[in-house]
Amino acid sequence: MLFRQTLLFLSRRKELEEFLKRNPLARQASSRYVAGDTRQEALEVTRRLNEEGFRVTLDYPGEEVADQEQSRAATEEYAAAVEEAASLGLQAGISVKLSHLGVRLDEELAYENLRTIVERAAQAERFVRVDMEGSDLTEATLKIVRRVHGISKNVGTVVQSYLRRSSTIIEHLNKEKISVRLVKGAYLEPEEVAFQDTEEVDLYFMRLVEALFRDGDHPAIATHDEKLIEFAVDMAFIYSRAEHEYEFQMLYGIRKDLQRKLLQDGYRVRIYLPYGEDWYGYFMRRLAERPANLWFLLRNLNK
Ligand code: FDA
């Protein structure tokens, strides 16, 4: 737990970011989780994943933006990436973060930017998933997703099972037919808003899976935790959900064995595939989930 907190704290430190971005070994380590620096590299990896039978959601990491111009540049990249993927016939949607679209500068700006991406993705017949960030952004994210969903249905969001109020959130999203990706949650949150104990997070995850299979619209169960995946498979059976009505999602580079096994068993599996130069925050959150990855990196940094 302490490691996780330290790493999540470090994920926001600019000095460490500069150091790691210059370090070839850190770059190499990050390549396990990130497709490459460019959109072309990401589309090439997408093509390979599609050939194996996986669907993809592209992610262009980058969190805070300093001004409107940067938020518009991110918007353009997200929209162009999903359009290009579609024009190449790739099975890929896109995942976006509202902080990258300027939500901390101005909610209206983030709304406009998201709407642009969702409308362009609709033209290309592709889906946009709005990632969930820290709990300071939960309300704004839900509000903006609802507004855009009112205009175009090809948008959904994410619910985190570490947040204590997630069952109420899911209940509302289910009624509104907004598709949910369920995750455990990757940010540092205080005890008042989030469970700190992993068992509580897992039990709550199961309760939310049940609600999603009972009433949800095309739920996505996003975890590498085998016991939770097995539980979801059971729930899909109990609620008579056909394989095309839901999907499993996993992160690029994590538990490839499990990704392949699910695919072989006939389930839909979507890989979350990040690309771009701004990989530091994403990479640190992945290290925080698995301190063993950090020891490997530290042991080799000075060689
Ligand atoms: P858990 O962390 O318990 O891991 C289960 C097993 O998976 C581990 O025992 C290990 O084998 C393997 N594993 C997990 N992480 C690993 C790593 N980094 N390196 C190597 N092995 C690892 N979060 C969020 O707050 N907002 C969001 O929008 C999203 N979006 C999202 C999309 C998708 C497709 C996924 C899969 C995940 C997210 N997340 C997220 C991240 C999520 O909240 C969570 O932090 C990670 O999925 C890790 O939790 P698991 O459910 O895999 O369980």
**Which is nearest to 206 in space by CA: 175, 237, 227?**
227
Residue of the CA atom closest to atom 2 of ligand 1:
289
Q: Are 244 and 264 in contact (CB under 8 A)?
A: no
- Residue whose pair of structure tokens reads 């979507």 in the numeric block: 270
Q: Is 270 a catalytic residue?
A: no
Q: Is 136 a catalytic residue?
A: no
d(CA 27, CA 206): 36
Query: So what's the pLDDT on residue 96?
Result: 97
AA identity, residue 15: E
Residue of the CA atom closest to atom 26 of ligand 1:
132
For each successive 10 residues of the chain (303 residues), what is the average pLDDT? 69 71 77 90 98 98 87 97 98 97 97 98 98 97 98 98 98 98 96 97 98 98 98 98 96 96 98 90 80 66 52
| The pTM of the whole model exceeds 0.95 | no
Q: Which two tokens stand for residue 174?
A: 């289910």
- Ligand 1: residues whose CB is within 6 Å? 131-132, 158, 160, 183-187, 222-225, 249-251, 254-255, 272, 286, 289-290, 293
Query: So what's the pLDDT on residue 93?
Result: 98
Query: So what's the pLDDT on residue 1?
Result: 63
Give DSSP secondary structure letters for 124-184: TT--EEE----GGGHHHHHHHHHHHHTT-SSEEEEEETTBTTHHHHHHHHHHTT--EEEE-
Q: One of 181, 241, 268, 285 is an active-site residue; which one?
A: 181
